[in-house]
Amino acid sequence: MAKKSLFTTNTQIKAALRQLWLRSRERAQAIKRDNYSCRNCGAKQSRAKGKEVYVEVHHRDKILNWQQIYEVIRECLLCSPDKMETLCKECHKAQEKKDVNK
Protein backbone atom coordinates (compact mmCIF):
# COMPACT_ATOMS: atom_id res chain seq x y z
CA MET A 1 0.00 0.00 0.00
CA ALA A 2 1.33 3.43 -0.94
CA LYS A 3 2.26 5.86 1.80
CA LYS A 4 -0.33 8.61 2.14
CA SER A 5 1.09 12.12 1.78
CA LEU A 6 0.57 14.52 4.67
CA PHE A 7 0.03 17.37 2.24
CA THR A 8 -2.13 17.96 -0.82
CA THR A 9 -0.19 16.93 -3.93
CA ASN A 10 0.35 19.04 -7.07
CA THR A 11 -1.78 16.51 -8.95
CA GLN A 12 -4.68 17.04 -6.55
CA ILE A 13 -4.34 20.84 -6.79
CA LYS A 14 -4.25 20.74 -10.59
CA ALA A 15 -7.32 18.44 -10.70
CA ALA A 16 -9.27 20.80 -8.42
CA LEU A 17 -8.24 23.83 -10.51
CA ARG A 18 -9.28 22.00 -13.68
CA GLN A 19 -12.74 21.32 -12.22
CA LEU A 20 -13.01 25.00 -11.26
CA TRP A 21 -11.94 25.99 -14.79
CA LEU A 22 -14.42 23.64 -16.47
CA ARG A 23 -17.27 25.20 -14.47
CA SER A 24 -16.04 28.80 -14.63
CA ARG A 25 -18.16 31.65 -15.92
CA GLU A 26 -15.17 33.02 -17.82
CA ARG A 27 -14.80 29.80 -19.82
CA ALA A 28 -18.55 29.66 -20.49
CA GLN A 29 -18.54 33.28 -21.67
CA ALA A 30 -15.69 32.58 -24.13
CA ILE A 31 -17.56 29.59 -25.59
CA LYS A 32 -20.80 31.56 -25.86
CA ARG A 33 -19.01 34.58 -27.38
CA ASP A 34 -17.59 32.34 -30.11
CA ASN A 35 -21.02 30.81 -30.76
CA TYR A 36 -19.88 27.33 -29.68
CA SER A 37 -17.59 27.23 -32.74
CA CYS A 38 -13.86 26.77 -33.37
CA ARG A 39 -12.27 30.14 -34.15
CA ASN A 40 -9.75 28.49 -36.50
CA CYS A 41 -11.84 26.20 -38.71
CA GLY A 42 -15.40 27.19 -37.77
CA ALA A 43 -16.43 23.69 -36.64
CA LYS A 44 -19.58 24.01 -34.54
CA GLN A 45 -20.00 22.07 -31.31
CA SER A 46 -22.38 19.14 -31.75
CA ARG A 47 -23.61 16.38 -29.47
CA ALA A 48 -25.46 14.58 -32.30
CA LYS A 49 -24.78 10.86 -32.14
CA GLY A 50 -22.04 9.91 -34.57
CA LYS A 51 -21.28 13.58 -35.33
CA GLU A 52 -19.87 14.68 -31.98
CA VAL A 53 -17.68 17.79 -32.10
CA TYR A 54 -16.38 19.27 -28.87
CA VAL A 55 -14.96 22.75 -28.52
CA GLU A 56 -12.39 23.64 -25.88
CA VAL A 57 -11.10 26.95 -24.55
CA HIS A 58 -7.41 27.75 -25.03
CA HIS A 59 -5.43 30.30 -23.00
CA ARG A 60 -3.73 32.45 -25.66
CA ASP A 61 -1.32 33.87 -23.05
CA LYS A 62 -0.56 30.34 -21.77
CA ILE A 63 -0.33 29.26 -18.17
CA LEU A 64 3.38 29.73 -17.82
CA ASN A 65 4.30 28.63 -14.36
CA TRP A 66 2.31 25.88 -12.69
CA GLN A 67 4.97 25.57 -9.98
CA GLN A 68 4.41 29.20 -8.98
CA ILE A 69 0.65 28.64 -8.87
CA TYR A 70 1.14 25.61 -6.59
CA GLU A 71 3.43 27.63 -4.30
CA VAL A 72 0.94 30.50 -3.96
CA ILE A 73 -1.90 28.07 -3.20
CA ARG A 74 0.24 26.31 -0.57
CA GLU A 75 1.41 29.58 0.99
CA CYS A 76 -2.00 31.27 1.11
CA LEU A 77 -4.61 28.51 1.23
CA LEU A 78 -3.08 25.11 2.00
CA CYS A 79 -0.60 26.41 4.54
CA SER A 80 0.82 24.36 7.39
CA PRO A 81 -1.72 23.26 10.03
CA ASP A 82 0.26 25.16 12.69
CA LYS A 83 -0.84 28.36 10.91
CA MET A 84 -4.52 27.38 11.19
CA GLU A 85 -7.06 27.24 13.98
CA THR A 86 -10.50 25.74 14.31
CA LEU A 87 -13.28 28.25 15.03
CA CYS A 88 -17.06 28.17 15.06
CA LYS A 89 -18.79 30.05 12.25
CA GLU A 90 -19.50 33.15 14.40
CA CYS A 91 -15.96 33.39 15.79
CA HIS A 92 -14.53 32.87 12.33
CA LYS A 93 -16.59 35.79 10.98
CA ALA A 94 -15.48 37.97 13.89
CA GLN A 95 -11.82 37.02 13.40
CA GLU A 96 -11.95 37.78 9.67
CA LYS A 97 -13.47 41.19 10.50
CA LYS A 98 -10.60 41.86 12.93
CA ASP A 99 -8.03 40.76 10.34
CA VAL A 100 -9.45 43.16 7.75
CA ASN A 101 -9.30 46.09 10.18
CA LYS A 102 -5.61 45.50 11.06
For 15, 22, 79, the CA distances from 8, given in Å and listed in that order, are: 11, 21, 10
Which residues, other chains included, contact 35 with Cβ-Cβ below 8 Å and sequence gap of 6+? 44
> 53-93: per-residue pLDDT in tens?
999 999 988 887 889 999 999 999 998 889 999 999 999 99
Q: Which of 64, 80, 66, 82 is nearest to 13 (CA)?
A: 66
> Do the beta carbons of residue 36 and residue 45 sit within 8 Å?
yes
The domains of the chain are located at 10-79
Q: Which of 5, 8, 4, 6 is nearest to 78 (CA)?
A: 8
Asked if pLDDT for residue 4 goes beyond 90, the answer is no
Alpha carbons 13 and 78: distance in angstroms, whole number: 10
Cβ count near 85 (within 10 Å):
9
> 9-48: per-residue pLDDT in tens?
999 999 999 999 999 999 999 999 999 999 999 999 998 9
